Each structure stands twice: as structure tokens, then as C-alpha cells.
Structure 1
Amino acid sequence: MSTLRVTAELLTVHDHPDADALELAQVGLYRAVVAKGAYRSGDAAVYIPEQAVLPPALVEELGLTGRLAGRASDRVKAVRLRGELSQGIVCRPRALAGVDLVRAAAEGTDFAELLGITKWVPPVPTTMSGDVEPAPGLLPWVDIENVQRYPGIFEPGEPVVLTEKVHGTACLLTHLTDEGRVHVSSKGFGAKNMALKEDPRNLYWRAVRAHGVPEAAARLAARLGATRVGIFGEVYGAGVQDLAYGANGRSEELGYAVFDVSAEIDGRVRWLDAAEVLGEELPLVPRLYAGPYDIATVLELASGRETVSGRGLHLREGVVIRSATERYSPVTGGRAIAKAVSPAYLTRKGGTEYE
């Protein structure tokens, strides 16, 4: 899940192709449906992204009572309005009436705290939870921004790699060479430097044991001369999320696929190409494309049928885009990595979104 920022943005306004009273306000490559005439191209307004949770007073002020997602109808979610995908909310809250939004857009001011907007935290099923312990040596995963929100992360023509984004739950494993042990955690616990104590009932421990991940991490650490190795994989299957890829998270047939690897070598943590350093030692997420960056190619590959099962059993969640050569991005303030999500995935019915 990406970070939550509520910012002022300069808009580009487009006609709605199927509604005379509506228009489309573009932010980055996102488009949000707005009332016709509310904004003009070049205007500044506040953009509230998906997965934001709004306070009741703001929901009422924006005229969205009963129209948002979640049990309290307070969470922003992608929807289709008269056939057009609307991602996020474009507005001018009364609390910012005296604020110069053009200047705020230029300065990148974050209004989330002022407006009482928080980031939605997915629930954690019991199979993904358990007893935890401090793990200061754990190598954490990073939040990934959506390339449609920040299209400047990659340069046109830059060599990139696209892998399929798997709808499961992220499993973090860190091999500690000096201690001769591993930490296993979820994305949520890992962000708090906490690891899950080993339990044969726990989904993450079941996955890494079933696929021999601790042993593969130890072999990789020895080859690289690394003091720590992090292997980041997606655990998936029936009982994990609504998209199962033909696997069963409740049995020995649970799915697992590595999507990233990091290693601490000579005191520096480096991100590595999972296919290059692991080969066929562990299952990997499917690689869909390697070549020059082109946003049209990215958005095309973000949709379609999944390739994880090899049978196209259901829709694809999306893709993850990485620079072919690991580099820093001033747009993200970290790695040059992003995601693009399928519109069909965003608007599917009965979907689950666990951490």
C-alpha cells in the first residue's frame, strides 16, 4: 500500500463522454469525476486519494454520506460513475478556505492531519497474526506508489522490468548470518520491527517452511558474503484473499512467490534482481515485460488475466514496475519502483484487502 498524502494539485479538466452534468478532473494520470463547471484546467484543488478515511463532518460537507466504502461509509475507493473510472476525490474543503492552494501545490503541502484524514489499515485475519517479538535486524519492505499518481518516477524509454502484482499477503523473511537464524514477519508487523514467533499454524511460517525459504536465504547469504538477506514473497490462495490463483491457503497447496530480494553486504543494504540471484531455487512472481518504459504498455499489461497459475483463472491485480538498474528516485525519495493497478481489480465486487 502506498503512503497517504492529501495535497493540492493543479487540475486538467476533461469532458465526461457519457454525462452532460459531469466532467473528469485529472491529477497525475488519475481522473476523478466532478460536477460540470466546478473546476477549469489550471485550477488548484485538494486531491484525496483512494484508501483515505474521512472524518464524518468532511463526509457530510462533501455530500458523500452513505456513498463511500467501508462499514462506516467513510473510505475512498475507486468507482465507476456513468462508465468512467473515478479514483479519489477532488474538492475544496471549507477548512482550507483561506489557503493559497496554488502555492500549496507548488510546495507539496500535506493537508491530511489538518483535515483529519487517515490511512485505511486493512484487517488482519487470525491466520496472519500471532505472537510477536522485537526484531531490530529485520529487513523491512517499502511502500510502493502508484505510477498513475506519480508518473514522473520513470523516464520515457528508461529500461524497466514489469512483474505481475499478486493479490496475496506480503511475507518478509530475513536471514541473519551471525545469529544463524531467521525472522519471519508480515508487512504490517515488519514496519514496526516485529517478527512473528514460529508457529506451525501461522500462514507465513507455513509458507516459508513449505518452500524452503530459510535454507535458500542461507545459501544466498553465503554466496554473496552478506550479513543479512531479505526475501520478500507473496503468500496466496483460497482463504488468503479473494483472488486465489488455483492455490489453497488452508492446506499444503498454499501459494508462494518471491517478488524482491535485499542483502546487506559490507554494511550497505542493496536491492537485487530476484530472478538473477535466486534462479529456480524459489517460485518467483511472473515477469511480464522487460524493455523501454512506456506508460501505455504499463497500463495495458496492468489489466487482463492472471498468469500466476498458468491458466488465466481470473483477472490480474496489476503490475509492479522497477528500473532495470536499481536507482534512487527523487519523486519517491527512495527506490525507483511503482505499481499500476487494473481498473477491473479496483471495481470488482466482494474483494478482500488484507494486509
Structure 2
Amino acid sequence: MSTLRVTVEELTVHEHPNADALELAQVGLYRAVVAKGAYRTGDFAVYIPEQAVLPEGLLAELGLTGRLAGAAANRVKAIRLRGELSQGIVCRPRALTGVDLARAHRDGTDLAAELGIVKWVPPVPISMSGDVEPAPDLLPWIDIENLKRYPTAFPEGEPVAITEKVHGTACSLTYHAGDDRIQVTSKGLGAQRLALAEAPGNLYWRAVHGHGLPKVAAELAGELGASRVGIFGEVYGDGVQDLGYGTDGRRGVPGYAVFDIAVADGDGVRWLDPQELTRVLDGRLPVVPTLFSGPYEAQRVRELAEGRETVSGRAVHLREGVVVRPLSGRHSTELGGRAIAKMVGDAYLTRKGGTEYE
């Protein structure tokens, strides 16, 4: 998931092609449906992104009581309104009356706490949960921001790899070379520096042992001279999320695909570049499909985010989206960290009966 930030943004307003009383307010590459005449291009307004949970008072003020997603009808989700995709909410809450919106935009002020907005945390199925233990020396993964919010994160022409985003649940394994120890966790628990106690029915441990991750991690530590190796992959299959890729995740060995590797030594933590990752694994573990490798083109990314998945080899359902990273790793000032971002497909966002476990 992306980081939840509620910020003031400068709008670009477009005509709605299918509704005389509506318009489209653009933030980055996101577009939100708004009432016609409410805003003009160049205006500043608050942008509330997807996965935000709104308090009752703000829902009532915006006329959205009972109209959003989730059991409590208070969660922002992408929808189509009169045929146009609307992602997020554009508004000017009364709580910000008197606030210099232009200055808040320049400062990048996060208004989530002031407005009582929190990030939605999906419920965790029993197969993905379990007893946990403190793990301060884990190598955790990071939140990946959406290119629609940060459209200039990659310059046109930069050499990049575009991989398919697999709809499963992220599984992290950290191998400690000093005492031949492994720690396994999910993305959400890893962010809290918690590891899952080994249990035969746990989904993550079934994937770890079923695909032989401990052995591969130990081999990589020796080959790369690392004190710790982090292998990050997506566990998938029927019973894991609503898109199963034709794999049974309920019994036996669920599907698994590596999307990142980190190695730690005396100089800190290093993330393997895309081509290095494929080379050092040398077929020992399945890897997420690479859809394109070459010069970055924004239009190509948008096109590749849509269509059918390639994980199963049979295109059994739609594609979730893509992840973009440079062929040579670097820091991104715009993203505030590692240069890596995602784009989620419009068809995926508006599918029926979707699940979003971390």
C-alpha cells in the first residue's frame, strides 16, 4: 500500500464528457469527479486519497454519509461516475477555514490528523495471522507510492524495469548468517518489527518452506558476503486474494514470486538492481514477470498497468498493475527515498468483490 497523506493540491479542471453538471479535478494523474463550477484550474483544495477512512462529521459535511465503501460506508475507493474513473475526494473542509491553502500546498502539510482521517487497515484472515515475536533486526520492505500521485518521479528516457504487480500478500524473509537464523513476516507486521512464530498452517511459512527460501537465502549470503539477506516476495493463489492466478493457496504450497532482495553488510543495506536480482537467483526461486526493460515512457506504463496477467501463463484474469524501478538504483527526492513506484490498473480498481489484505 501507499503512504496515506492528505494534502492541499493545485487543481487542473477538465470537462466531464458524459455529465453536464460534473467536472474532473486532476491531481497529479489522479482525477476526481466534482460538481461543475466548484473549482477552477489553478485553485487549491484538499485531496483525500483512496484507502482513507473519514470521520462521521466530515462525511456529513461533504454529503457522503452512507455513500462510501466498506461496512461502515466511510472508506474512499475508486469508482466510476457517469463512465469516468474517480480516485479520491477533492474538497475544502470547514475545519480549514482561514488556512492559507497555497502555503499548505508549498509546505506539503499533511492534514490527515487535523481532519480525523486515518488509513484503512484491511482485516487479516486466520491463515495469514499467528503468534508474533519482537524482531528489531528484520529487513522490512517499504511503502510504494503511486505514480499517479508522483508523475515526475522518473524522467522520460531513464532506463527502467517494469514488472507485473502480483495480487497476493507480501512475505518477507530475513536470513541472519551469523547464527543461521531466519525470520518470516508479512508487510504489515514487518513494519512494526514483528516476526511470525513458525506454524505449519500459516500461509507465509507454507510458502517459505514450500519454495525453499531458507536454503536460497543462506546461499546468497555466502555468495554476496552479506551478514543478512532479505527476500521479499508475493504469496498468491485462490484463498489468498480474489485474484488467484489459477493456483490453490488454501492447501499445499501456495504460489510465490520474488519482487525484491536486500543485502546487509558493514556498509549498510543495499537493494539489488532488477537485472542483478535475476542473475543472482539464477532460477532458484520464481520471480515476478518483467513486462518491459528499457527507456521510461509514461504512456507505456499506463498501457502496461492494464490488460491480462502473465503470472499464470494462461491469462486467467485481469492484471493488478505494474511496479517501476530504475535499472540502476537511486534516491528520489520527489518520493523521499528509494526510486520505486507503482501504477494500479483502472480495471483492477473498479472490479467487483475485490480483497486487499496486506
How high is the TM-score relative to the length of structure 1?
0.99
Which one-letter code corresponds to 1:12 in the other structure? T
Q: Which residue in the other structure is 2:241 paired with?
A: 241
1:229-308 paired onto structure 2 within 5 Å: 229-272=229-272, 273=274, 274-308=277-311
Which one-letter code corresponds to 2:195 in the other structure? A
1:276: how far off? 2.5
Residue 222 of structure 2 is aligned to residue 225 of structure 1: no
Q: Which residue in the other structure is 1:182 paired with?
A: 182
1:203: how far off? 0.4
Structure 2: tracts of 5 or more residues without a match: none
Q: Which residue in the other structure is 1:67 paired with?
A: 67
Q: Which residue in the other structure is 1:10 paired with?
A: 10
Q: Output the CA distance in 2 between the equivalents of 1:90 and 1:149.
A: 14
| Contact 2:177/2:226 (<8 A) preserved | yes
1:275: how far off? 1.1
Q: Which residue in the other structure is 1:354 paired with?
A: 357
Residue 33 of structure 2 is aligned to residue 33 of structure 1: yes
Aligned partner (choices 304, 316, 331) of residue 319 of structure 2: 316
- The percent identity for this pair of structures is 70
Q: Output the CA distance in 2 between the equivalents of 1:82 and 1:241.
A: 29
| Contact 2:206/2:253 (<8 A) preserved | no
| Contact 1:147/1:338 (<8 A) preserved | yes
Deviations 1:238-292, CA, capped at 9 Å, x for gaps? 1100000010111224100000000012231000032122120100000000111
Change (3 A) 1:198 1:253: closer
* Matched position secondary structure for 2:13: strand
Q: Output the CA distance in 2 between the equivalents of 1:64 and 1:208.
A: 44
Aligned partner (choices 330, 333, 340) of residue 337 of structure 1: 340
Q: Which residue in the other structure is 2:139 paired with?
A: 139
Q: Output the CA distance in 2 between the equivalents of 1:142 and 1:25.
A: 29
Deviations 1:59-106, CA, capped at 9 Å, x for gaps? 010011111001110000000000000000000000001111111111
* Matched position secondary structure for 1:45: strand
| Contact 1:25/1:32 (<8 A) preserved | yes
Q: Which residue in the other structure is 1:89 paired with?
A: 89
Which one-letter code corresponds to 2:18 in the other structure? D
Aligned partner (choices 330, 334, 354) of residue 327 of structure 1: 330
| Contact 2:207/2:253 (<8 A) preserved | no
| Contact 1:224/1:265 (<8 A) preserved | no
Q: Output the CA distance in 2 between the equivalents of 1:48 and 1:179.
A: 46
Q: Output the CA distance in 2 between the equivalents of 1:34 and 1:57.
A: 20
Which one-letter code corresponds to 1:277 in the other structure? V
The 4+ residue runs of structure 1 with deviation greater than 3 A are none
Which one-letter code corresponds to 1:265 in the other structure? D
Q: Output the CA distance in 1 between the equivalents of 2:251 and 2:57.
A: 45
Deviations 1:144-189, CA, capped at 9 Å, x for gaps? 0000111121111111100000000000000000021100000111
Which one-letter code corresponds to 1:123 in the other structure? P
1:331: how far off? 1.1
Change (3 A) 1:253 1:179: closer
Q: Output the CA distance in 2 between the equivalents of 1:122 and 1:159.
A: 35
| Contact 1:137/1:176 (<8 A) preserved | no
1:225: how far off? 0.5
* Matched position secondary structure for 1:152: coil
| Contact 1:53/1:120 (<8 A) preserved | yes
Q: Output the CA distance in 2 between the equivalents of 1:112 and 1:276.
A: 42
Which one-letter code corresponds to 1:268 in the other structure? G
Q: Output the CA distance in 2 between the equivalents of 1:103 and 1:284.
A: 45
1:226: how far off? 0.1
Q: Output the CA distance in 2 between the equivalents of 1:120 and 1:145.
A: 16
* Matched position secondary structure for 2:152: helix
Which one-letter code corresponds to 1:319 in the other structure? V
Q: Output the CA distance in 1 between the equivalents of 2:267 and 2:252.
A: 37
Q: Which residue in the other structure is 2:203 paired with?
A: 203
Q: Which residue in the other structure is 1:191 paired with?
A: 191
Deviations 1:119-158, CA, capped at 9 Å, x for gaps? 0011111100101111111100100000011112111111
1:237: how far off? 0.4
* Matched position secondary structure for 1:151: coil
| Contact 2:210/2:253 (<8 A) preserved | no
Q: Output the CA distance in 1 between the equivalents of 2:357 and 2:246.
A: 19
Q: Output the CA distance in 2 between the equivalents of 1:321 and 1:342.
A: 14
Which one-letter code corresponds to 1:213 in the other structure? L
Q: Output the CA distance in 2 between the equivalents of 1:253 and 1:176.
A: 24
* Matched position secondary structure for 2:258: strand
| Contact 1:165/1:319 (<8 A) preserved | yes
Which one-letter code corresponds to 2:307 in the other structure? G
After TM superposition, the structure 1 stretch with the greater mean CA deviation from structure 2, 295-304 or 147-156, is 147-156
